[in-house]
Amino acid sequence: MQQQGGTMRNSPSYGSSGGHSRHFDTILSPLVKTGAGASNRSYAFFSFFLFLLLGVFLTTRLLLDPSVLIAKETALVTETLKAGESPKYPQSTKLITEKPKEFKLNCPAFSDNATATCPRDNYPTSLLPGSREADSGRSPPATCPDYFRWIHEDLRPWEKTGITREALERANATANFRLAIIDGRIYVEKLREAFQTRDVFTIWGFVQLLRRYPGKIPDLELMFDCVDWPVVKAAAFGGFEQLTPPPLFRYCGNNETLDIVFPDWSYWGWAEVNIKPWESLLKELKEGNQRSKWVDREPYAYWKGNPTVADTRLDLMKCNVSEGHDWKARLYQQDWARESKEGYKQSDLASQCHHRYKIYIEGSAWSVSEKYILACDSVTLLVNPHYYDFFTRGMLPGQHYWPVKEDDKCRSIKFAVDWGNQHKLKAQDIGKKASEFVQQELKMDYVYDYMYHLLTQYSKLLRFKPEIPKNSTELCSETMACPRDGNERKFMMESLVTHPAETGPCTMPPPYDPASFFSVLKRRQSTARRIEQWESKYWRKHNQTRS
């Protein structure tokens, strides 16, 4: 029973029957039916023979030419999107072209005043009149990207029981801070030190969310853990004692944990390594893509990072080009100390789209670099990940990325690069889909909307009245940004929300029904499996010609 809780982690609790795998047999099944349905015996024999021939032909073709199936997958996905009700990315139809009034920070009043407190009455407390939200006659806002549906799954452990204060308090075992939102103000109780400025920029994100949607974020209390690895083990809950898991927010999860995933600090900037807030970086990455055409880029798989943080990364280093081998990988070690001295000229993310393929590999857990790699319209070669963050569950193999085996990286990378160089249009398409996904579905507007919906749903589960924590401090943009300097100050000013949103948040999609949930999982699995099959076939052939 205990194991059950662990294995069913992200699945809705419908049981595991149903769902069918779309494999070669289902693709060929219409032909089978035609053959068996013929009444004449010899005709039946003839068509069976024809079917065999066709089957052989199709199978060989499918196996040899992956692009056929990829195209099929893509078409299927596009169809389901079209069937959806509301437009995915509607153009802003706002008639008002007037620029909204901006509310900047008045830092001089704060800089040398240790007793300064958060100002009142210097910022609107509700959405502006004339905004789409306030003006209810307008067309409804767009439906949020599909990955928002995982909010329902992440909160499912508390669906029946709700969240009691007792459950929340148990999350203090590892949390770095407790955050309360009461009447649109933020109070933070620091519980333990966090690494670098992770906690600071995460809290800054909450503060900006409140500036974006003033008057719309409900009262709540939550616990936040800034450490990389998820800790709330699903297997420890759901047993006979009926203990509910502690609700604990963090940046990533895996299939054995119940931590609630939330956007990481880097969306507002990573001061220590000079990574700018996401909104400005996203523009630069778009421009970076336009600097060179995909076909003109180096036809290799590129990776740059710190290999020492995980064994799997050290293992990847063995795939680097050497005198004996060329696995088509070009791998580099990031030297943060040197680059810090040289002003990060070598680590400018926007000018790292010079290879046709870019490798993503996890570090000690998920890595913030994934979005930067996907944003490049080179093909992302994704070494099979163990962790997910809030958006990655919206991506599909063969559509947004190319899966790479974790236990056979070099061979897998070489196959991917050779495949892509032979199927340039398909490969470019995968690169483009990923960069479009990041530019559209992961733009800052949606990061805030994700936070909005997650917090709103979360607050509905609370079975106690949120209160201002005993040892907390009220935090606002002024008290956070004004006393700082350097990158911290710069990135806060850059990511400051200067006026309330002009439109309401996107509409939350409903939970997955069992059928569509399993079809998403199956689609992901079957594409990945098929790519694996091509890969073994490729290597079998390669091995034969060598021996």
Ligand X SMILES: *[C@@H]1O[C@H](CO)[C@@H](O)[C@H](O)[C@H]1NC(C)=O
Residues at the interface with ligand X (CB under 6 A): 7, 109, 113, 115-117, 169, 172, 255, 317, 320-321, 331-333, 386, 470-471, 536, 539-540, 543
117 versus 422: smaller Cβ distance to ligand X: 117
Q: Are 211 and 123 in contact (CB under 8 A)?
A: yes
Tell me the C-alpha distance between 471 and 6, whole Å: 35
Pairing of strands 220-224, 177-182: antiparallel
Q: Are 465 and 220 in contact (CB under 8 A)?
A: no
64 versus 109: smaller Cβ distance to ligand X: 109
CB of 536 to ligand X, least distance (A): 4
CB of 333 to ligand X, least distance (A): 4
82 versus 465: smaller Cβ distance to ligand X: 465
CB of 366 to ligand X, least distance (A): 12
CB of 223 to ligand X, least distance (A): 10
CB of 125 to ligand X, least distance (A): 19
Take residue 109 and report the two structure tokens written for it.
């009043």
Taking phi over 0 as left and psi of -120 to 50 as alpha, with beta for the rest, 121 belongs to left
216 versus 297: smaller Cβ distance to ligand X: 297
117 versus 125: smaller Cβ distance to ligand X: 117
Query: At a CB cut-off of 8 Å and minimum separation 6, what does 277 contact?
Result: 267, 268, 269, 491, 494, 495
Q: Are 204 and 480 in contact (CB under 8 A)?
A: yes
CB of 427 to ligand X, least distance (A): 22
Q: Are 277 and 267 in contact (CB under 8 A)?
A: yes
Tell me the C-alpha distance between 174 and 196, whole Å: 17
DSSP secondary structure of 232-291:
-BGGGSSSTT-PPPPP-EES-EETTB-PEE---GGGS-BGGGTBPPHHHHHHHHHHHHHH
CB of 115 to ligand X, least distance (A): 5
6 versus 124: smaller Cβ distance to ligand X: 6
16 versus 92: smaller Cβ distance to ligand X: 16
53 versus 109: smaller Cβ distance to ligand X: 109
Report the 3 state secondary structure along 289-349.
HHHCCHHHCEEEEEEEECHHHCHHHHHHHCCECCCCCCCCEEEEECCHHHHHHCCCHHHCH
CB of 162 to ligand X, least distance (A): 18
Query: At a CB cut-off of 8 Å and minimum separation 6, what does 41 contact?
Result: none
472 DSSP 8-state letter = -
